[in-house]
Structure 1
Amino acid sequence: MKSTYALQLPLLAAVTLMAACNGGNTTKQTQDTAAVAAADTTKVPAFEVSSIDSSAKPCDDFDQYVNGNWKKSNPIPSTESRWGAFNVLDKENKEVRLKGIILSLADQKDLKKGTEEQQISDFYRSFLDTAAIEKLAVTPLQPYLDKINSIQTLADFSKVSGELEAIGIPGVINFGVEADARNSKMNALYQGQDGLSLGEKSYYERPDASTKEVRDEFVKHIDKQFASAGFKEAEPGKTILDFETKVAKLQLSNVELRDPVATYNKAHYSELKKLAPDYDWDAFTNAQGIKSDTLIIQNKAYVSKVSALLKSTAPETLKTWLRWQVLSHFAGFLNKQLDDENFHFFASVMRGTKQQRPRLERAIRATDGIMGMPLGKVFAKKYFPESSKQKVSEMIENVRAVYGERIDSLTWMSAATKEMAHKKLASFTYKIGYPDKWKDYSSIDIKPANLVENIVAAAQYDHKEALNKIGKPVDKSEWGMTPQTVNAYYNPLNNEVVFPAGILQPPFFNANADDAINYGGIIAVIGHEFTHGFDDQGSQFDAEGNLKNWWTDADRKNFMALAKRYINYFSGIEVQKGFFINGALTIGENIADLGGLTLAYNALEKSLKGKPEPALIDGFNWKQRFFLGWAQVWHANTTDAALRNQIQTDPHSPARDRINGPLPHLKAFADAWGCTPGSKMVLSDDKRVVIW
């Protein structure tokens, strides 16, 4: 069972209600001291001057000026679709630190069944046991294929869809569990849309040549996978594309999904039967073990329309689509032919990645994906000393204090709303490094020689855990990321910011760097996460984490007018011919970036009051180095295909525009670099957007 508010991937992004900061393939979270891993003694330069392209002008293209030579010297590895600061640090965490942990466990003999050590070791072994994987081929899928083959009616389809949901395979309708957005202390059952293999409805609708090519390749990919698996359908690719295109037309766009009010429709369970009487809801929920009198429906119109679509679709088409869901879900864990073709489409076609990582590296990453928290326990103990929490706490409190001052200085907000904003700011809680308590994973049955069974066992654990939460109090100590994750997030339902140990390393925080570099890095990241509490989504939640308006009508109107100007600003940026940033999709992350920079710069200024002017470093003053710190955090090279995918699916703007985008709105940037009117990165005062 999926969480409606589950965090997605890379960049400082917002995912439904949880906003993350990540510099990879999506999310938002975003990111004068924190700790470096005790075991990491190598000094990392605060800023590498050799990265600068001196032929570029900082006031015309700051990214090219700061990072031009870095990008030239750091081409995208063949195993990646994007290469930047997040990826470099993530690679170090996984392929050095986690690898060392996993390999040391894999060398141990006779590990006790059910211990985290045994689970980590045996899952890793199962991924590397290619002989067993090749021998089994698609045999591990047979129990699920048999269920699909038995479908004769829509009621049968409902039941089998529920059974597949219980092991993590999505249908066109899914259920999840998360805190009730209007009663954040209690967990609730949520219903949402799903079922698009290409991830977002625009892939099924855009008429441009590159998107059409993706659809054509999608059809070929399915045909190849069905043939490799021994499935006998004729033209399965066309069948599935046609069906998913019909589903896509019924779904909310990723921009519409950002509206927490419109997507919150609490109802009695019986409402589902009224909305879609032909769908067997009891069969669907009973197959998953779901018991709840109420639920929160994302989009009532979708429930009705997709049910009608299912009713009008031939059972054989529905069976073909379900076979595809099962095959695609597990393809990366099956024999080489299926695995390679899965990589070809979803990594090469969709994101421009040229080749798979070596099997050993993939085994490390897969183990982290399944046993991330147990691994995180060891990671945190080894690389994040307890003393670091205090240092990060101090940084967070500095940002909180500056945010309060910024609220007081706002000219567009009334005193009444400012009072409520201060109340929310004061109620922010935070988590640093790693959880205070760890979950018990001992019930997951991990075996050394059956990879698919291990994936299923982990999914069943997650599903059971979700079931046990329905209608019960929220555990606010729970984490949405593992400690080793290079990211951070804001959760409006808890009104909390969370900073895993994985991101508290260079270039985000560098213990050997000057304050200006760190303020442009980790302090701006902390400010980014704080600002998510006051972006277009987060600002709709109160101090208790409830979806509740705390604004006067006039102040909300003022805020949305500023947001609209910022939406229009980013929507005018063309990142590839015919592909523009979706300002409405990225507004939450863009507001958070602008707020993070503003807060961090003000905090740096405040810290220097009454002190001697810091000396130049490498010829740059402290104001300039602040912005150098910001730019090096986000530097990245991205493939064309990944860039197109990001524009359509990711709530974060591309790396270049995360760097350059907010800077023209900061007078401090123009002052720091001596930018004159007419420079490409200079806006007049009346064009600048100042929100927080």
Structure 2
Amino acid sequence: MKLHFLGAAATALVLAASTAQADQAPQATASATAAKPTYGTYGFDTAGMDPSVKPGDDFYDYANGGWAKATPIPADKSNYGAFNVLDDLSRERTRGILEAAKADPASKIGAAYASYMDAAAVEAKGLGPIQPWLAEIKAVKDKAGYAKVAAKAARAGVSGPFRIYVGQDDKDPETYILNLRQGGLGLPDRDFYLEQNDKMAAIRTAYVAHLERMLTLAGEPDAKTRAAALMAFETEIARVHWSQIDSRDADKTYNKMTLAELQKTAPGFDFAGYLATNKLNPAAVLVAQPTAVAGEAALIAKTPVGVLKDALLLRSLHAYATYLPDSVANEDFAFYGTTLSGTPEREERWKRAVDFLKESMGEEVGKAYVAQYFPPETKAAMDQLVKNVIAAMGRRIDGLAWMSDTAKARAHKKLAAFTPKIGYPDKWRDYAGLAIKAGDLLGNAERAKQFEFDYQMGKLGKPIYRWEWQMTPMEINAYADFGMVEIVFPAAILQPPFFDPHADPAVNYGGIGAVIGHELSHHFDDQGAKYDETGKLSQWWTDQDVANFKALTDKLVAQYDAYEPFPGAHVKGAFTLGENIGDLAGLAVALDAYHASLGGKPAPIIDGTTGDERFYLGWAQVWRRNYREANLRQRLVTDPHSPSQYRADIVRNYDAWYDAFKPAPGSKIYLKPEDRVKIW
């Protein structure tokens, strides 16, 4: 299962290449619409522009600079922008649903919410609720016992030496298979341990101090020495970990093994005992990073069991910190929230409670959310927009000079196989088997994590759950799933500035239209293009197609490698390539869809702006975001999406943008025609 997010049962759509269907899209304009758009006169916040910046110098600042200067980042956030505005709205709405449910003694979501909101009870119980689990970890005597308790930790949502999950077999997409990936780190990525610069060194120092304080809070002796030993162990793990770039390669990460082959590849860890603890005996396992898994197993074999137990103990405190007293929760936040992301304050308790319910019973909450906040008209309009964008993608495929006719025919088959999912699932999850007890927050959290683990592992041997969603309706995101050949758009993102039924269509196509194009284009990015119309990992291009494609994507990698948000800290073009292709192709496809929707008529002039100008402004508006420095630095290492400024400035690759805004040659983001990257 390969998921690619934006910033994340419908029937398959057949390709509609004519403009007849496109003409059915809503054509509301500012002058013809009775209701006023949420932003400005036509759906774009002109007051947030910075007219002192020329579009050709920085289109992001031209479109959003006024907003950026006038908008502080709230104290409980590491960054703030259009996504956060909608997330705040979504959580306020969800809070209302949960507050009402809390008054219903028969409501499971209400009881779970109430248990989180009872801060006094959490403080009164102290660490008592988690002590039996910590005692089980501390009682481990040997490596065999460690493997078993690590398996229990995985079922309880605690990260251990490896990550296991169930997904589609990339080369047999009608079958579920167990996946095994590298793990074992407390910092976000190997680079945090290995990069030699002052910023990373300071984080490492703070991390060790954090581990020491957490051990002390748990009442553990000799915390300083134990923290240092764990850091040394994790640093050795980081040395064997694969990089983010290698870990996103669908070919490199497809390594199918029997359990016996896995044990032979990585003999230092009892994988049979580890899996059997959770009643798993898979015929095969997909091992994403075999050398890393083998390296970790060898390190586990030679590391004192006390260090291994400390890793699980500390990961448990981290995983459950939000359900524990403030002494632990505040310390956990001080490192992971403030040191790593720069966020000064924890969110209010009700916001954390909402997140708990989204994680534990998201679709149960989602049913109520959709009933109140997702009108059928929005779904119908989105259905049409998706059809229009898919049709535009088909036309662009026909016009590609670098792709062979053989590959074009297969690409059209893939388009015809797509399943768009919009708003909410056709089939909701059943949480009847999840026990929720009044006043038992940590127990509720633990049972919810175990319930989810059992649900996921229960897929093994069953037909593919094609109705399933990987997000709740309350998410401000979207995603593409290669194995399912689907693009998915939760209800909560289908609001201004992404989609506004009262805005000019150009702004909507530049917003949600480009988001649709982005997710659709993921299926044709450097990894998604490796999956055929059935969702199978297989090369359906000629060798020459592959070579032509790589020549184009190499240019995009170089373009993004040159971006430097901080001195010496660059965007990683190879790491962010999939998302950059999604933006590049998605925006081009959305513009074609917008032009087709006009039915041969010229776009109206509104407030002195052309349709294409409004389209590109709509694109830039959804990417307005202010970052704290620590958060942006972390994202450069861990986030496959480029910073928002560069996502907006991808317009520099489109001839139509130059025609619309007429930047002068030599402007800062101006590219000569031969240097503009065009892929899909």
Match of 1:44 among 17, 20, 38: 38
Aligned to 2:618: 629
Greater Cα shift, 160-169 or 548-557: 160-169
Match 2:90 to one of 88, 93, 111: 93
Q: Is 1:139 aligned with 2:128? A: yes
**Distance in 2 (alpha carbons) for counterparts of 1:123 and 1:445:** 10
Contact 2:80 2:625 in 1 (8 A): yes
Q: What does the per-residue CA deviation read over 1:120-146, in whole Å, with 9 as the maximum and x for residues that have no partner?
A: 111111111122211222222222222
> C-alpha displacement at 1:609, in angstroms?
4.7
> Any conservation in 1 of the 2:95–2:350 contact (CA below 8 Å)?
no
1:669 matches 2:666: no
Matched residue, 2:382: 392
CA distance in 2, matches of 1:525, 1:504: 10
Question: Using the alignment, how far apart are the partners of 2:50 and 2:266 within structure 1?
Answer: 60
Equivalent of 2:228 in 229, 238, 255: 238
What residue number does 1:405 align with?
395
Asked whether the 8 Å contact 1:351–1:639 carries over to 2, the reply is yes
Does residue 531 of the first structure (1) align with residue 515 of the second (2)?
no
Contact 1:165 1:288 in 2 (8 A): no
Distance 1:636 1:146, change over 3 A: same
1:166 is matched by which residue type in structure 2?
Answer: R
For residues 336-387 of structure 1, give each alpha carbon's deviation from its aligned partner in whole angstroms, at most 9, with x where no partner exists: 1111111111111111111112222222222222221111111111111234
Give the corresponding residue for 1:488. Answer: 478
> Residue 103 in 1 paired to residue 73 in 2?
no
Question: Is the 2:27–2:505 contact (alpha carbons within 8 Å) kept by the matching residues of 1?
Answer: no
Query: What is residue 462 of structure 1 aligned with on the other side?
Result: 452
1:620 alignment partner, one of 594, 600, 609: 609
Partner of 2:74: 77
Q: Could you tell me how far apart the structure 1 residues matched to 2:378 and 2:88 are?
A: 22
Confirm or deny that 1:253 pairs with 2:243. yes
Partner of 1:383: 373
Distance 1:220 1:610 in 2: 65
SS at match of 2:173: strand
Q: Hey, what does 2:675 align to over in structure 1?
A: 687
Say if 2:518 and 2:585, in contact at 8 Å, map to a contact too.
Answer: yes
Match of 1:318 among 284, 297, 308: 308
CA displacement, residues 40-79 of structure 1 (integer Å, 9 cap, x when unaligned): x985121121101111111101111111111112110111
Asked whether 1:265 is paired with 2:255, we answer yes
Q: For 2:571, give the aligned amino acid.
A: I
Q: Once superposed, which parts of structure 1, at least 4 consecutive aligned residues long, lie more than 6 Å away?
A: none
Structure 2 residue 560 is the aligned partner of structure 1 residue 575:
no
Kindly tell me the number of residue pairs found equivalent between the two proteins. 654
Aligned twin of 1:67: 64
- Alignment pair present for 1:472 and 2:476: no
**DSSP-derived class of the 2:185 partner:** coil
- Find the aligned partners of 1:86 and 1:278 in 2 and give their Cα distance: 44
1:667–1:461: structure 2 CA closer, same or farther, 3 Å change rule? same
| Aligned-residue offset at 1:612 | 4.1
Distance of 2:337 and 2:252 partners within structure 1: 34
Query: CA 1:231 to 1:638, structure 2 compared with 1: closer, same or farther past 3 Å?
Result: same
Change (3 A) 1:418 1:452: same
- Report the residue type matching 2:665 in the other structure: P
Identity of aligned residues (%): 38
Distance in 2 (CA, whole Å) between partners of 1:365 and 1:192 is: 26
Residues 62-100 of structure 1: CA deviation (Å, up to 9, x unaligned): 1111111111121101110110000000100112x1111
**C-alpha deviation, 1:594, in angstroms:** 0.6
Distance in 2 between residues matched to 1:478 and 1:42, nearest whole Å: 36
Whether the 8 Å contact between 1:218 and 1:237 is mirrored in structure 2 is no
Superposed counterparts of 1:354-433, under 5 Å: 354-433=344-423
Distance 2:37 2:358 in 1: 27
Q: Which amino acid aligns with 1:21?
A: L
Pairing 1:583-602 to 2, within 5 Å after superposition: 583-602=573-592
2:213 touches 2:223 (CA, 8 Å); kept in 1?
Answer: no
Change (3 A) 1:347 1:380: same
| Residue matched to 1:184 | 173
Kindly state the Cα deviation for residue 607 of structure 1 after the two structures are TM-superposed.
2.4
Question: In the TM superposition, what whole-angstrom CA distance separates every residue of 1:527-557 from its partner, at most 9, and x where no partner exists?
Answer: 1111001001100000000101100000011
**Partner Cα distance (2:603, 2:457) in 1:** 58
Aligned equivalents of 2:579, 2:294: Cα separation in 1: 32
Deviates more, 1:149-158 or 1:394-403: 149-158
Counterparts of 1:348-359 in structure 2 under 5 Å? 348-359=338-349
| Segment of structure 1 superposing worse, 123-132 or 361-370 | 361-370
Report which stretch shifted further, 285-294 or 41-50.
Answer: 41-50
CA contact (8 A) 1:155 1:280 kept: yes
Residue number in structure 1 paired with 2:7: 22
Partner of 2:639: 650
Q: Bigger CA drift: 277-286 or 44-53?
A: 277-286
Superposed displacement of residue 456, structure 1: 0.7
Partner of 2:115: 126
User: Higher mean Cα deviation, 602-611 or 149-158?
Assistant: 602-611
Q: Confirm or deny: 8 A CA contact 2:6 2:479 kept in the other structure.
A: yes
Give me the whole-angstrom Cα distance separating, in 2, the residues matched to 1:305 and 1:666: 46
Compare 680-689 and 502-511 and name the one that shifted more.
680-689
Aligned with 2:530 (options 535, 540, 547): 540
For structure 1, the 5+ residue unaligned runs are: 6-16, 24-31, 36-40, 112-117
Take 1:357 and 1:83, find their aligned partners in 2: how far apart are those partners?
Answer: 14
* Cα distance between partner residues in 2 of 1:42 and 1:468: 49
Partners of 1:292 and 1:471 within 8 A in 2: no
What does residue 174 of structure 1 align with? 163
Q: 1:472 to 1:613 in 2, by over 3 A?
A: closer
Q: Deviations over 1:565-592 (max 9, x none)?
A: 1011101100112210011110000000
Change (3 A) 1:631 1:304: same
Q: For 1:577 and 1:239, how far apart are their aligned partners in 2?
A: 33
Structure 2 unaligned segments of length 5 or more: list them.
9-24, 29-34
CA gap 1:278/1:679 in 2 versus in 1, 3 angstroms: closer
In structure 2, the residue corresponding to 1:296 is in which secondary structure? strand
Provide TM-score, normalisation by structure 1.
Answer: 0.92
1:611 maps to which of 601, 606, 611: 601
Residue 454 of structure 1: CA displacement?
0.8
TM superposition shift of 1:282: 2.3
1:520 corresponds in structure 2 to 510
Q: Aligned partners of 2:46 and 2:252: how far apart in 1? A: 48
On the 8 A contact 1:624/1:673 being kept in 2, the answer is yes
Aligned counterparts of 2:422 and 2:586: Cα–Cα separation in 1: 18
Q: Secondary structure at the match of 2:576?
A: helix
Distance (Å, rounded) in 1 between the aligned partners of 2:201 and 2:112: 39
Aligned to 1:198: 187
Structure 1 range deviating more: 568-577 or 367-376:
367-376
Displacement, 1:296? 1.1
Supply the distance in 1 between the matched residues of 2:296 and 2:55 (Cα, whole angstroms).
Answer: 51
**What is the CA-CA distance between 1:654 and the residue it aligns to?**
0.5
Match among 269, 282, 285 for residue 272 of structure 2:
282
Report SS of the residue matched to 2:180: strand
| TM-superposition CA deviations, 1:174-199 (whole Å, max 9, x none) | 32100111111111111111121112
